[in-house]
Structure 1
């Protein structure tokens, strides 16, 4: 009897909620469970594969977007370091580039953990990745004459939001 009920229930779901709207609603429902709903929705919806993803897939997409952010920010920061003549600023920027590279590697480890359905490890790796950029900010505060570049601050905030979103989604999995 229960299997007949489930069959009828799923049949009604597919009739009243076609696949596209159910994937959209899953994306909205998932992002609604995150701290930054609008940022989550905009980020995940920018990836075509999110329309067919389940929650685990959405978490991997969120982490993948964070990997791209950490990678581009590491390159950006390295470019800033190479372009400056100030040795103190160059040293801080090189350290920042390394911290973003560390964040990227932690996020890649998180993707491996997600693929293995090791959600606790995925959570730990994303948490670590979220902390690396804050070290960069602290380094700038330790040398008061240095100004934290506004573009770097924007990128740091974006990575922080992406990591928070990924953590929120991973929490739904386990």
Structure 2
């Protein structure tokens, strides 16, 4: 009985001293910067991840998930923007058709990003990568839809939105590349 009477308090004391070391061993205050250096758009990556309240406390996979959420928001916002613009196009059926097709492409980009969250959550990095690549490519179909119509140019607002989504997807791809798979 004597052995156990001093062993348990000593064990608890050791664990209490080690707990702060263990709990903060994985925390890396520079993880965002280190991760973003591996991406195509460092400034965008750092800006978005540092602005998210969970960013500084996240591991690399969680940083990818945060960026995917930004991509989902961008795709959803662009889809909503296009849906509202369709209302304002009165009699131009070519323009309405192009806008509907474009809205569908952004809805598909949103779906692809949602799928990437699911597969990334279960460490299927290759499938997550493919879904993010697809999400970044869907806006090309939007541009094509506008270029099909005679005299229809690609609206500059859509070009900006397309570029934003593609950049976010490129950042996510860089982060996924840095995961161990």
TM-score range for the pair, normalised by the shorter chain length: 0.7 to 0.9
Matches within 5 A, 1:46-125: 46-85=51-90, 86-125=92-131
Q: CA deviation at 1:138?
A: 1.4
Which of the numbers 30, 33, 48 marks the counterpart of 1:43? 48
After superposition, the C-alpha distances for 1:4-37 in whole angstroms (9 at most, x for unaligned) are: xxxxxx96xx6xx9x5xx33x1000001110000
Which of the numbers 35, 39, 50 marks the counterpart of 1:34? 39
After superposition, the C-alpha distances for 1:126-161 in whole angstroms (9 at most, x for unaligned) are: 011111101101111222411222111111000000
Aligned residues: 158
Point out 4+ residue stretches in structure 1 off by more than 4 angstroms.
none
The CA RMSD over aligned residues, in Å, is 1.8
Instruction: Give the structure-2-normalised TM-score.
Output: 0.83
Give the secondary structure class of the aligned counterpart of 1:48. coil
* Residue 161, structure 1, aligned to residue 167, structure 2: yes
Match of 1:142 in 2: 148
The structure that has the greater radius of gyration is 2
Q: Gapped runs of 5+ residues in structure 1?
A: 1-9
Instruction: Give the structure-1-normalised TM-score.
Output: 0.86
Q: Gapped runs of 5+ residues in structure 2?
A: 1-19
